[in-house]
Structure formats: C-alpha cells, structure tokens
C-alpha cells in the first residue's frame, strides 16, 4: 500500500510521536481518507504511542530536559518531509507542526537559552502543502487527540534539537519531543503526570511529586523503575489525580 508506506515514513522521519493524529483528504472535501488507511494509521500510531515504558528509557534518550511554560503559539509549519530529500517538504502531505515559544524555568539536563521554540505534531493532511487552508488545518487539528501545550500550565519536557531545516527555522532552532511521552504537566499542587490522552501512558507513569520526579532526573541511580509511587507525597498525588485513570 503506497499510502500506508508514506504514512509510516512520515511517522519515522518526524520523530514526533503523537496520539492518533487525524488525517484528512482535501480531495474528498475534508472527509477522513479511506477506512483502510485510517485504520492502519490509528492502529500503528496507537501501538507506538507509549514508546517508553520506563523512566530510565526517557532519560537515556533525551538530550535536553527542562522545566518551562509555553508562552505563545508561533504559527504552523509543515513538519512532513520528502522521503527522497529530507531537506524538503513532502509534496503530497502537510504535517501540522505547531510551534510554541517556551520560557525555560530550569534546565535539568543539558543547557540552552531562556526562550526556545518547541514544535508538536497536531495532525496531518493528505494534500499538496501549498494549497492547505486554515480551515483544513483546524479540521484536522480538531480530530486529533494530540494535546496542545497550554499557556497556563508548567511542564517538564524531554527534548532534542531538530537536525532538519523547516520553513523559517534553521537547523537546531526547533526542539522536538524525544519519543513518547515527552511532556509532563506540573500541577498547581506540584504533582507531575503525563500530558496525554492515552490511558496506557498514565498506567506506566502515574502521578508523582515534583521533588521526587526531579530527583529521579538528577540522580537516576536512586531508582530502578518508576512503575508505582512509593513515598507518601507521591501517593497524595495519585489520590489527587485519580480522575486520570479509567
């Protein structure tokens, strides 16, 4: 299946693993593309959504870890790449790469500027990039289960700088999530939990206190896994955020 192979290639080359990103075909007036292709995409994106099942894996595969807050959206770029030349946009697909300006509160691994640009994939459209409209972007985004970054939330993000050049951004000017999950919400009561719709993600990474979460990042040798919170403060977080479980 040619469409299926290209979808698989886009997922791999983007390095942006998101939750069941919806695909629309503008040649069919905004309707979902063929059921076979849709089922393939949903099945594979769902199965690959929880790329990491242990905290150790996330740490080992992230070059930059930070505490920060999204302060504004900076527009959408086409995040889909031409499989024959990754320096170019894909001529037949438009990946909705939403760019956020993030104010860094603290670097927990690596270092960098106080303001960075983080891009998140929030859907993609089966059409030529030059004819994509705002209405089509919003339709695909509304069907996606990817959670946008919110300006009223603090996050811990696990990132790497992009090795590709995108419209308006040079090599290294954009940061992307390293696998999935790559962003965790810091609640107002300083609990940390995955910013994600997928139930399995919350089972692998239950709520935990911010202090303990950060300590695991700075001192990874202090734990072997994080499958269930053990300390009293983490249990308080689990009770407080019990609504995240089915």
Quickly list DSSP for 8-47: HHHHHHH----SS--EEEGGGTTEE--HHHHHHHHHHHHH
Residue 51 pLDDT: 73
Q: What are phi and psi of 167, to 5 degrees?
A: -55, 115
Round to whole Å and give the CA distance between 9 and 4. Answer: 9
Q: What is the pTM of this model?
A: 0.74
Residue 91 pLDDT: 86
**Burial grade of 223 (CB within 10 A; 0-12, 13-18, 19 or more):** middle
Residue 130 pLDDT: 77
Mean pLDDT in residue range 219-245: 58
Run of H or E residues at 224: none
Residue 7 pLDDT: 42
> Is pLDDT larger for residue 118 or for residue 124?
118
Round to whole Å and give the CA distance between 113 and 229. Answer: 33
Mean pLDDT in residue range 195-201: 84
Question: Model confidence at 224, in pLDDT bands (50, 70, 90)?
Answer: low
> Is pLDDT larger for residue 65 or for residue 127?
65
Instruction: Choose which CATH entry (3.30.1370.10, 2.40.50.120, 3.20.20.70, 2.60.40.10) describes domain 52-122+145-244.
Output: 2.40.50.120
Q: What are phi and psi of 28, to 5 degrees?
A: -115, 30
Residue 19 pLDDT: 36
Residue 17 pLDDT: 36
Mean pLDDT in residue range 231-237: 63
Residue 80 pLDDT: 86
Compute the C-alpha angle 17/62/41, nearest 5°. 10
Round to whole Å and give the CA distance between 204 and 100. Answer: 27
Looking at residue 222, what DSSP letter applies? G
Q: Are 190 and 211 in contact (CB under 8 A)?
A: yes
Mean pLDDT in residue range 41-63: 63
Average pLDDT of the chain is 75
Mean pLDDT in residue range 7-33: 38
Mean pLDDT in residue range 178-202: 89
**Pick from 179, 188, 173, 194: which is nearest to 244 by CA?**
194
What is the CB-side half-sphere exposure of residue 126 using CA atoms within 13 A? 22
**Pick from 51, 68, 56: which is nearest to 178 by CA?**
51
Q: Are 130 and 96 in contact (CB under 8 A)?
A: no
Mean pLDDT in residue range 111-128: 90
């Amino acid at each position: 299946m040619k469409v299926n192979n290209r979808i698989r290639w886009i997922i791999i080359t983007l390095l942006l693993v998101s939750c069941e990103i919806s695909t629309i075909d503008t040649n069919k007036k905004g309707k979902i593309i063929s059921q076979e292709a849709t089922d393939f995409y949903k099945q594979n994106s769902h199965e690959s959504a929880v790329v990491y099942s242990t905290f150790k894996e996330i740490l080992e595969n992230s070059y930059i870890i930070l505490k920060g807050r999204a302060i504004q959206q900076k527009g959408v770029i086409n995040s889909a790449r031409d499989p024959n030349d990754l320096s170019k946009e894909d001529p037949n697909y438009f990946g909705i790469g939403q760019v956020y300006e993030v104010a860094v509160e603290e670097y927990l691994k690596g270092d960098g500027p106080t303001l960075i640009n983080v891009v998140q994939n929030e859907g993609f459209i089966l059409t030529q990039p030059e004819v994509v409209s705002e209405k089509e972007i919003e339709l695909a985004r509304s069907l996606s289960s990817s959670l946008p970054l919110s300006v009223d939330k603090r996050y811990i993000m696990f990132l790497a700088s992009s090795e590709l050049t995108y419209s308006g951004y040079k090599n290294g000017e954009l940061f992307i999530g390293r696998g999935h999950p790559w962003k965790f919400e810091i609640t107002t009561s300083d609990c940390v939990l995955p910013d994600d719709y997928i139930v399995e993600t919350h089972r692998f990474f239950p709520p935990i206190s911010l202090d303990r979460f950060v300590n695991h990042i700075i001192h990874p040798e202090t734990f072997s896994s994080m499958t269930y919170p053990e300390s009293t403060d983490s249990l308080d977080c689990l009770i407080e955020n019990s609504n995240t479980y089915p």
